[in-house]
Structure 1
Amino acid sequence: MVGSRGCPYNCTFCGAAVSANPDLTIRVRDPENIIGELDALHAEHGVTAFRFVDDLFLGVGRVIEEQMAAFTRHRIGERYVWDATGRINVLDRVTDAELDRLVKNGLREVALGIESGSDRILKAMDKRINAEMAERVARRLVRHGIGVKGYFILGFPGESRDDLKATVRHIRNLWDIADTYPGDIRASVFEFRPYPGTPVWTTLTAAGHDPDALLAYGDVDLTEDGADEAMRQRDEFNFSVGIQFGGVPLPEIRSTLATLTREQHQRNQGTKEDAA
C-alpha cells in the first residue's frame, strides 16, 4: 500500500531526497480513500495484513493523527494488521498513548532507517537523528509490542573502522533490547551503493568519481564469508559497484555484512529465549 508520495527530508543516499526531486510536491491520500482500498482488497481477496511502503505514513505527526483518527472510527485494528515505514525523529516525539493507539489500530511493525551507529556518519548522511535517539525509539516501540525492522548501510563514504564497529555494536545493542520486550528488532544490512541524483552522488562525482563506474552494479557473493542458501531472502538488494568509498576495505565490509546477516538469520530461526 502507498499512503503518500514525496519526502521532506534530504538523506544524502536516498533517491527520495527532497533536493533530488525539487519539482515534486508531497501528496498524502485521504484516510477514507486508504480505508476504502483496505476494505476493497479484503472483500475481493480476503487480505487482512498490509504494508505501507511510503516514507510519510508514520513520518509526519499531523498525518499520523489524521490516519489514526480514521482508523479508530472504522475499527481497523479489529479487522486488519499492518506494517509501515517511519521516521525516527518523528516517532521520538510520539507519546505512549499515541503508541498504544497505533497498536490498537493494528500496527505490527515499523521499518526505520537507522543506517549507522556512528553519530559522525549519521550527520554526514543528514539523517537528523543520532544513535541514542534511534535506540530510545526502538526501545519504546518494542516495549509496546511493535516490531522494528532497522535498515543499516555499511561502507558509506568516509566511514572508518571505528564507525563500522559502532554500527555493529548498535545492532547488537538493539537485539539485546528486543530480547527483554514483547516486540522484536530485525536488522537488514546492506553495502553502500550510490544512486544518480542523490546528494551523495553529486558529492562523489564532484570528487572525481566516474559516473559510469558508479553505475556498474554487480552482485555480491557472500558465500566465502559464511552466507548460505538458507539466508537468501532479499538478495536482490545485495549488489555493489565494487568501489571502496570509506576507510574500510570492501572484503571487511562484506565479511561484516555476512556476519550480521548470519546472526539475524539465526535469530529468525530461534526464539527470544534462545537468543537471550
Structure 2
Amino acid sequence: MKVILATAKQQIMEREWLPPLSLGYIAASLESKGIEVAIVDSEVNRYDSKKASEEILSHKPDAVGITTTTNNRLEAIQLCNAIREKSKTLIFVGGPHFTPTARDALEKVKCIDVVVRREGEITTLEMLEAYSLKKGFFDIPGISFRDEDGKIVENAERPFIQDLDTIPMPAYHLFSLKKYNARLEGEYQSPNTIGVVSSRGCPYDCNFCANNALWRRSLRTRNPEKFVDEIEYLYDKYGYRSFDIWDDTMTIKKPHVKGICEEILKRKLDIKWYARSRVDSVNKEILGLMKEAGCVSMGFGVESGSPRILKSIQKGITIPVVKSIIKASADLGFYTKAFFILSLPGEEQEDVSASLSLIKELNSYGKNVMAGAGIAKIYPGTEMERIAMSKEILPSNFSWNTECEFPINRLFNDIVSVPLFVQPQLPLESLYVEIDRMQKRALSDWFWLIIKSLIEMRNLGELKIRITKFNLIILSKLRKILN
C-alpha cells in the first residue's frame, strides 16, 4: 500500500517554515508496519490545490491523508476536491480543525471519506489496514465516516496514547529539510531550526483555546532521556543546533522540564531552544536551569491585563505573577514574548485599557521583551464558539466547512475565513489603532535585533548570509504592517 500525507497551503503565506510534525509522526507509524509513505508539504513548496493534487496523484497512491488547522481548512477542502476530480483514491483528513467538526465536514464535503479524530498514529494505521483488507470501519475507535448507505457514523473516541515513547520518532527523512528555514524567536542570526515535542496536551481550561478542544485537558509527557535522544539524533544526523519545542506548555510538570535540562547539560549539547510556558508554571530556579541548558526564548500566554477577564476566560493566573515572571525572564536575558488577546467575551473598554497598560509596562522591562496583542478568534469546539453562537455572533446554521469570508479581518491583515469575536461595545475599528501601534513598535525592535546581530558578526561571509536572511524578515514584517 502506498499512502501520501499532505498539507494544504496557507491563506497568508509565511516566509519561514518548520516541518509538519503531525505528518512525520503518522508517517513513522505507518512505515513501522511496512506501509510506503511520502509527504507532500504544500506550505513549504507553495503549491496551490491544483499543483498539490498533481504532485500527490503522480505517486499513484492508494490513500491520501490531509491535515489542516482551522486557518487553512478551506484550502484543505479545495485540495480534497481537486484530488477527487481525478481519482477515486481513499481521502482521509485529520488535525485540530476536522476533529471537532467531523460530522459537519462529512455532511458538507462529499469527497472526504474518513475523518481521523485527535491522535492519528494508531487510528490511521488501523483504518488503512482495514481498508486494504476491504473490511468495514465500524470497529475502529477514533474515526467518523459514511457507511455504504451514505449514513454518517461516528465511532467511539480512542483513548489517548499514554506512553508517548511508544510512538516512533517522526519520519524526518521524508521531509526536504533544506527547504525549512525557520529560526528561533529572537535569534534571527541562528541556524535553521527544527520542531520537537516533549509532551502533548494541556490540563487547563481556557475558554478560547482550540488545543483545549483537541486534547480535552489531558497532559502526557515523554521520558526526558528519550526526548533528548531525539534532539541528539537531529544534532548528529542533520546538524541542527536550534530547536523549537512545540509543547502547548512545556513547563507544567517541573520534574519533566528539569529532567530535560539536566539531560542536555549532562550530554554537553551546544544547542539553543524556544519554549512556550505559563507564568504560573515557572519560577526563577526553573528559568535559570532552562537558561543554563540553552533555552534562549520564552513565550507566555498572558491574554489580558484585566483580572475580571482572566477569571472569565478561566486562565487561572494573576497580574502580580505575570509581572514577576516576565521581569525575571527578561532579567535572565531570555527573548521574552507575552501574548495578549483583545475583544475576549464580555470585555469592556476598561479591560482593553488594562491590557494595553500592562503590555506597555512589560515592554518597558527591556528590549528583549515583546508583548503584543491580537484580536480574539473563534475556533470550533471551544467555549468561545458556544458563546458566539448564543450571542448570534455566528449564525445558528454556520458551517465551518463551507466557503465563508469575514471582511473585517482585512483591517488586521488577517485570514478572512476565521471569524473574529465581534462585540458591539468594542468596535474592532477602534482596536485597530492600538494593534497598529504595537506592530510598528515591534518593527522598531526587529531593527534593533538586526543591528545587534550585525555587530556580533565575525566575517564578511557571515555578513552576506545575515543580510539575505534579514531582507526576508524585514519584507515579511513590512507586509504585515503596511498591507
Shorter-chain TM range is: 0.7 to 0.9
Contact 1:191 1:238 in 2 (8 A): no
Say yes or no: does 1:221 pair with 2:416: no
Please give the secondary structure, in 2, of the residue aligned with 1:114.
Answer: strand
Q: 1:2 to 1:188 in 2, by over 3 A?
A: farther
Residue deviations 1:190-238 (CA, integer Å, cap 9, x gap): 1111111112222332344425558545473348xxxxxxxxxxx6668
Residue deviations 1:80-114 (CA, integer Å, cap 9, x gap): 010010111111xx2x3432221110010111101
Given residue 257 of structure 1, which amino acid in structure 2 is its aligned partner? I
Report the Cα distance in structure 1 between the residues aligned to 2:398 and 2:292, rounded to whole angstroms: 49
Decide which of 179, 196, 216 is 2:380's aligned counterpart. 196
Say yes or no: does 1:256 pair with 2:434: yes
Decide which of 332, 351, 357 is 1:169's aligned counterpart. 357
Given residue 83 of structure 1, which amino acid in structure 2 is its aligned partner? Y
Given residue 347 of structure 2, which amino acid in structure 1 is its aligned partner? E
Cα offset, 1:32, TM superposition: 1.8
Report the Cα distance in structure 2 between the residues aligned to 1:134 and 1:249, rounded to whole angstroms: 27
Say yes or no: does 1:269 pair with 2:447: yes
Report the Cα distance in structure 1 between the residues aligned to 2:337 and 2:275, rounded to whole angstroms: 10
Given residue 256 of structure 1, which amino acid in structure 2 is its aligned partner? E
Given residue 266 of structure 2, which amino acid in structure 1 is its aligned partner? R
Please give the secondary structure, in 1, of the residue aligned with 2:197.
Answer: coil
Matches within 5 A, 1:91-240: 91=282, 94=283, 96-179=284-367, 184-208=368-392, 209-210=394-395, 213=398, 215=400, 216=404, 218=406, 220-222=409-411, 240=418
Gaps of 5+ in 1: 224-234
Structure possessing the higher radius of gyration over alpha carbons = 2
Q: 1:199 to 1:100 in 2, by over 3 A?
A: same
Contact 1:57 1:86 in 2 (8 A): yes
Report the Cα distance in structure 1 between the residues aligned to 2:293 and 2:421, rounded to whole angstroms: 45
Contact 1:4 1:26 in 2 (8 A): yes
Cα offset, 1:153, TM superposition: 0.7
Cα offset, 1:146, TM superposition: 1.6
Given residue 189 of structure 1, which amino acid in structure 2 is its aligned partner? A
Q: 1:105 to 1:66 in 2, by over 3 A?
A: same
Say yes or no: does 1:64 pair with 2:242: no
Say yes or no: does 1:29 pair with 2:222: yes
Report the Cα distance in structure 1 between the residues aligned to 2:441 and 2:398, rounded to whole angstroms: 32
Q: 1:136 to 1:238 in 2, by over 3 A?
A: farther
Contact 2:344 2:376 in 1 (8 A): yes
Report the Cα distance in structure 1 between the residues aligned to 2:277 and 2:416, rounded to whole angstroms: 23
Cα offset, 1:161, TM superposition: 1.0
Cα offset, 1:15, TM superposition: 1.3
Say yes or no: does 1:87 pair with 2:278: yes
Q: 1:217 to 1:141 in 2, by over 3 A?
A: farther
Q: 1:243 to 1:31 in 2, by over 3 A?
A: closer
Aligned length: 252
Report the Cα distance in structure 1 between the residues aligned to 2:229 and 2:422, rounded to whole angstroms: 48
Gaps of 5+ in 2: 1-195, 453-483
What TM-score, normalized by structure 2, do the two folds share?
Answer: 0.48
Please give the secondary structure, in 1, of the residue aligned with 2:365.
Answer: helix
Identity value in percent: 22
Residue deviations 1:111-157 (CA, integer Å, cap 9, x gap): 11011111111111111112221111100111111221111111111
Say yes or no: does 1:15 pair with 2:204: no
Contact 1:82 1:109 in 2 (8 A): yes
1:227 maps to what in 2? none
Report the Cα distance in structure 2 between the residues aligned to 1:132 and 1:140, rounded to whole angstroms: 12
Please give the secondary structure, in 2, of the residue aligned with 1:10.
Answer: coil
Report the Cα distance in structure 2 between the residues aligned to 1:147 and 1:175, rounded to whole angstroms: 11
The two structures, once aligned, show a CA RMSD in angstroms of: 2.7
Q: 1:65 to 1:243 in 2, by over 3 A?
A: closer
